[in-house]
Structure 1
């Protein structure tokens, strides 16, 4: 039996997954690392930890599974997007990486909008948000000119990790799409954007496809990881792109709903000129010559975590959701908006905050739980609504993450989204997508679709109930009004926030 490994470099830990040729998971390991938060809104990480912890996880995976190392043929990567890693001429790290959830760059975002105008969406296909890479680069140039002057190139987190494993500097398209410097449709660094900000072309690394072979392991890395020098290394993809591959989102009309700390709705797209007018993110897919549109709810699962920690300490999530099916749609006239951290889609508003609307003395804790679950789902439905209004046909949605662990919540998704909801038999997320890119790169399968047919198995399908679909359609209209009706109130309250 032959094997591949998928490496998912997350924000708080790295996960490595060993998969055989039939798509069965034969082992996994993970190692954590810490954030560096020097000030409010700052979020950084030491790139060296990515390397040491990944090597440790790989070594443990190889040792504990006891698979002959000559049978492990390839590895590939998934990684947290947008993080800025600056390297000097000798490819040494110049400063800690600035991560995707760092929000210090509001000023630079306004500068990008002012200078590029309509060209920002024309080329980068995405609005200027604090999480993206270009604003971080401009911030370093303004506030740390001595660091910027030494920079020879920049990389994103998993691309830096891959460089340390192989010695090759490169960046693949799905992650490069999140820098705001890539011409997403043309799959090249945008000369128009680079020239507008006087960024030299040599600062941008070579671009590769997600399934492209980029080398083999350096000798020092074979020693640290326990893997053989024959192992083929493939470029990999951004975490959302690999999550899409790992859920089988590889054809037109296929859509993913992922509810973790944040929430994502992601839909496959083949048209490079698709125009969502900045209302949704538009990135290159990990599948060659494909794309995806994506909406984000910043505090999806995090809203439920906040509620549990604040009002139901000591309960597990299963216990908290135990009576979810006992409360009817609409939670007895109670609505929740999950804007605890601001909102990304469709409003891109850092000031807005969450609300409970319609509370009365007859509401129990179970009503509030139902309202939180429905509010999270309504927020994700905003992205579904935008996709459909842009011409996407969405009939079936694969649901993963915390929202796929409760059957009532899965049925709520089917009724709110008015689409069949599919749960996977085994959910491994971006790490599995990375492993599939390695399997495809090794030519185990003729296409990623063939690989998905072997690796991904559906467990159960939830069909929308026509009566509840109509109830939720009416409630969704009310939900959509809450943002506009509370926007000014939240702006007025901003000065009182700690």
Structure 2
């Protein structure tokens, strides 16, 4: 149904299109390039990702010009391309491990922003993002995403989406809840909220423009690589 302004009238909650890239990109980098952090984490009984994000936190927003295209296993929504690959761009002598980690984290914020931009083009406006799972445990990453999107990131108490969805549907099916919405409201709670830092908006607007240019300009190269 359309409202008077011609925009699609929707419920407050929408799920973004599925993407192939996410925390797996950071895991790939950790497993292949952060053996030291993994060894130290084991010895100190800490989380290796915490040691990595500490390096990212010490790196300036925008990773001092280092950008990453996170398509390690192709690209899905909204730019579907099974031949898309990952790319680091802007590498110079100043870039250290923390820059690579931050560039990966920022790239996934750009990917979410690209999906929100696609929704906006359809008349669906997003006011806030609700996050859960592994990536939402990182306060550094949550703030990066809030700054890139310039929208609040709300962390929920949800841990596993599939299990939660099954519980919500089961609760509705056996009559515990009158509706799926009521079940979701009962089970899902916001436990933390990250507000965007407007001081970083200009940096991330420029970074997002670079991200989109990389995506567009590499289309032909993706096809060349796929034909080899």
Confirm or deny a common fold (TM above 0.5). yes
What is the CA–CA distance in structure 2 between the aligned matches of 1:299 and 1:419, rounded to whole Å? 21
- Provide the rounded CA distance (Å) in 2 between the counterparts of 1:394 and 1:465: 18
Structure with more of its chain in strand, by fraction: 1
Greater radius of gyration (CA): 1
Structure 2 match to 1:123: none
Structure with the bigger percentage of helix:
2
* Pair 1:254 & 2:13 matched: yes
The aligned counterpart of 1:338 is 70
* Paired residue secondary structure (1:379): helix
> Post-superposition shift, 1:362?
0.7
Take 1:323 and 1:303, find their aligned partners in 2: how far apart are those partners?
16
The two structures, once aligned, show a CA RMSD in angstroms of: 1.8
Which residue is 1:382 aligned to? 114
Gap regions ≥5 residues in structure 2? 1-9, 39-47
Q: Which moved more, 1:464-473 or 1:330-339?
A: 464-473
Alignment of 1:257-276 (within 5 A): 266=15
CA contact (8 A) 1:373 1:409 kept: yes
Say which SS state the counterpart of residue 297 (structure 1) adopts. coil
**Residue 412 of structure 1 corresponds to which residue in structure 2?**
144
Q: CA deviation at 1:432?
A: 1.7
1:297 aligned to 2:19? yes
Residue 4 of structure 2: aligned partner: none
Query: Could you list the runs of 5+ residues in structure 1 that have no partner in the other structure?
Result: 1-250, 256-265, 267-293
Q: How far did 1:473 drift?
A: 1.7
- Counterpart CA distance in 1 for 2:80 and 2:145 is 23
Q: Which is bigger in relative contact order (C-alpha 8 A, separation at least 6)?
A: 2
Mapping of 1:41-440 within 5 angstroms? 252-255=11-14, 266=15, 294-313=16-35, 315=38, 316-440=48-172
1:296 Cα deviation after fit:
2.9
CA distance, structure 2, for counterparts of residue 313 and residue 444 of structure 1: 48
Secondary structure in structure 1 of the residue aligned to 2:11? coil
CA deviations on 1:298-344 (whole Å, 9 max, x unpaired) are 12222111111121125222222222221121101000001111211
Please say if residues 395 and 419 of structure 1, whose CA atoms lie closer than 8 Å, have aligned partners that are also in contact: yes
Q: Is the 8 A contact 2:156 2:192 kept in 1?
A: yes
Q: TM-score scaled to structure 1, two decimals? A: 0.40
CA distance in 2 between partners of 1:446 and 1:464 (Å) = 36
Deviation at 1:407, TM superposition (A): 0.4
Q: Which residue of 2 aligns with 1:67?
A: none
Q: Is the 8 A contact 1:400 1:423 kept in 2?
A: yes
Q: Which residue of 1 aligns with 2:44?
A: none
Q: How far apart are residue 480 of structure 1 and its match?
A: 0.1
